[in-house]
Amino acid sequence: MRYPTLKRTLAALAVFGLALPAFADTSVTDAWVRATVAHQQSTGAFMTLTASSDSKLVDVQSPVAEIVQVHQMTMDNDVMGMKQVQSVELPAGKAVSLDPNGYHVMLMKLKQQVKEGEQVPLTLVIEDAKGQKQTLEIKAPVRALNAEMHGHEHMH
């Protein structure tokens, strides 16, 4: 009767695997960085984040910029601006977009021009509901888009 025992063990493992994912898993899609012109000090990185369990984006780092912050676009008396936020909520299973109209990753004090066709390394730090941190390394392609972020250069 060894065979049924083995089957039970495999079934138990499968259940275990489903019930207890080892780590909260966050996927990143559509990441991109806006290309800069010479001597431009800052730019934005954008992406869509989907976490498997309730999490938040708490930190971003990149070797191309001295300062990296997460910003949120704001509208105050019809004037568009932006403010730094400490984290971005990533509800389980919900795709959260960092786009030019909402949250974005701000790359400030750029060390060099960011040119179309390059890949910008970004390190994303995701914290789950238990406070466990997960680090995601991604490479975001640089896209040249003429659409200027509103109020961007004034803010930084």
Please give the backbone phi and psi of residue 69, each rounded to the nearest 5 degrees, phi first. Answer: -130, 160
Q: What minimum distance in Å lies between the beta carbon of 42 and Cu ion?
A: 7
Spatial distance between the Cα atoms of 127 and 89, rounded to a whole number of angstroms:
10
CB of 152 to Cu ion, least distance (A): 6
Binding site for Cu ion (CB under 5 A): 71, 82, 106
Q: Which is nearer to Cu ion, 24 or 57 (CB)?
A: 57
Task: Choose between 72 and 134: whose C-beta lies nearer to Cu ion.
Answer: 72
Query: With the CA atoms of 55, 61, 67 and 70 taken in that order, what torsion angle do they form, in degrees rounded to the nearest 10?
Result: -20
What's the min distance (Å) between Cβ of 125 and Cu ion? 18
Q: What is the nearest approach in angstroms of Cu ion to the Cβ of residue 151?
A: 9
Alpha-carbon span 75 to 136, nearest angstrom: 31
Q: Is 151 left (phi over 0), alpha (psi -120 to 50) or beta?
A: left
Q: Pick the closer one to Cu ion by CB: 58 or 108.
A: 108
Closest CB to Cu ion among residues 106, 122: 106
CA atoms within 13 A on the CB side of 94: 11
Nearest-10 Cα torsion for 37, 44, 25, 131: 130
